[in-house]
Each structure stands twice: as structure tokens, then as C-alpha cells.
Amino acid sequence: MRRIIAVASGKGGTGKTTLVCNLSIALGLLGKKVCAVDADLTMANLTLYFRLEDTSKTLHDALMGEIEINEAIHTTRYEFVYLIPGALDWEHVAKADPRNFPEIIPKIKDDFDYVIIDCPAGLQMDALSVIFGGEEIVLVTNPDITSIGDAMKVGAILKKAGKKVLGFIFNRYESQKNGISPELTEDLMEFPLLGVIPEDSTVREATLEGVPVVIYNPKAKASQAIIELAQRFERGE
């Protein structure tokens, strides 16, 4: 099954880019052909996470109508994993029209098992345009009330707009703390809990080394959770 999955959140900094990068690689390790898309149009962090050397052709060029979207597909250092990078300079950011995103992204669907989109946070025009490019949406929240509240808002609006919200990922969970539990969050969210990723200092360590955590240490708690999530996607759960 070919899928276009947008990874979104209400609040910023919940772990979307970390998830998109590592989930793409985890699916690649299962032999799936994946295209990760750096569509956080003003903060193209995913491109940095992948440490691409050549970023001459970007999503922004395609949004500006200067190239076809498939010309912006780059190979990465991970087998079966491709990346459409975002531009890092302000000129491209200022000129690219996010409203073109939902029209151009389906053009690459048939070339991949998964297209996974790293979205901007929130519900501004750029975020909504990008989220609407996804056929399925995954929300990422942290175990704090503002993050959960914002994810609920985004989920409700997307549901109202007729979008298919698969559910949410509960990232940076610390079970030993008496915070909000995944189960309580599932009750609040009214969307299925797709996975719990624990707070794990290995994520930061890996980032400092410039290596995605599932490669840096596949046995780390966060890596295990992301690898399990990839397996669940593959089983269609």
C-alpha cells in the first residue's frame, strides 16, 4: 500500500523532525522505499538531520514552479531512504508558495511505499497547506497539558475538514514521573494512541554526533519504540 503520511503537531518542538527522520530510516531498514519530505518551510531542520551534501534542488524550488517535484528527490546515506530537502536561505523561503504543496506532493506517491512529511507546527497557512498534502495524519505530542491541548485543537480541526487522522504519538514520556499518562491522553484526544516514545538522552547524544538515533544506537529505548512503530505501520495496524 502506498501511503502519504503527514507528521504534525500543535505546539512546536514535540519531536516531529526526530520522528520523521528515524521512522523513515526504520522503514528503510524493513526494505521499504521511503521519501521523507522537509516541509517545515521556514525551519528546514530535517535536511540538517539527514546531513545532505547537495541541496541545490529543494521543495522550495518546486513550490516556486522552477522545477518538477521529482527533480528535488535526493538519495541519502541510508538504504531505501530518499529526501526532498527544504531550502535553508531566506530568499527561497520568502518566494515559495505553500499553497502549491497539496497539488505537487501526490506526483511522487507512486514511486515510494511511504512518503512521510515533516510539517510545520500549528495551524498557520503554511502548516495547514502542508498537512493537507498528507492523505493520513499523525500527531505528535509531549506529556504536558499545553502540548496535548494544542494537538487536540489541530486534530479537531483536521477531523472537521474531513482529513484522516490516524492518531497520535506520545513522545518524551517518562513513566517514573507522575505526569499525564498515555492512557489518559488517549481519552482526552479522542484519537488512537499509535505509540509511546520514551524520554531518552540517547536522542540528544545521537543528534550531537550527527547520526539518527535508530542508527546511532538501535537498542536505545527511543530507537526501539520507533522501530516498533515502523513495524506496526508495516502490519497496517
Binding site for ATP: residue ranges?
11-18
Judged by CB under 6 A, the stretch of 7-15, 58-66, 145-153, 158-166 that binds ligand ADP is 7-15
Q: Select 105 or 140, whichever has its Cβ closest to ligand ADP.
A: 140
Query: One-letter amino acid identity for 87?
Result: A
C-alpha to C-alpha distances, 96 to 84, 89, 92, 109, 119, nearest whole angstrom? 15, 11, 6, 21, 15
C-alpha to C-alpha distances, 71 to 90, 94, 129, nearest whole angstrom? 21, 21, 21
Judged by CB under 6 A, the stretch of 88-96, 146-154, 196-204, 227-235 that binds ligand ADP is 196-204
Residues 133-172 that bind Mg ion (CB under 5 A): none
Q: From residue 43 to residue 82, what is the string marking binding to ligand ADP with x (rule CB under 6 A)? A: --x-------------------------------------
Residue among 42, 1, 38 at smallest CA distance from 17 = 38
Quote the CA–CA distance of 176 and 29 in Å, as a whole number: 31
Rule CB under 6 A: choose which of 197, 214, 220, 227 binds ligand ADP: 197
Residues 156-175 that bind ligand ADP (CB under 6 A): 171-172
Residue 18 binds to ligand ADP (criterion: CB under 6 A): yes
Determine contact, residues 35/174, Cβ cutoff 8 Å: no
Q: From residue 42 to residue 71, what is the string marking binding to Mg ion with x (rule CB under 5 A)? A: ---x--------------------------
Rule CB under 6 A: choose which of 4, 139, 154, 203 binds ligand ADP: 203
Q: Residues binding ligand ADP: what is the number (CB under 6 A)?
A: 18
**How many other C-beta atoms lie within 10 A of the C-beta of residue 12?**
13
Quote the CA–CA distance of 166 and 192 in Å, as a whole number: 7
- Look at residue 51 and give the partner it binds from Mg ion, ligand ADP, none, a contact being a CB closer than 5 to 8 Å depending on partner kind: none
Quote the CA–CA distance of 23 and 41 in Å, as a whole number: 20
Q: Select 67 or 215, whichever has its Cβ closest to ligand ADP.
A: 215
* Residue 147, C-alpha cell as written in the block: 502540548
* Helices 201-209 and 221-235: angle between axes, nearest 10 degrees: 90
**Interface contacts to ligand ADP, rule CB under 6 A:** 9, 12-18, 45, 171-172, 197, 199-200, 203-204, 207, 222
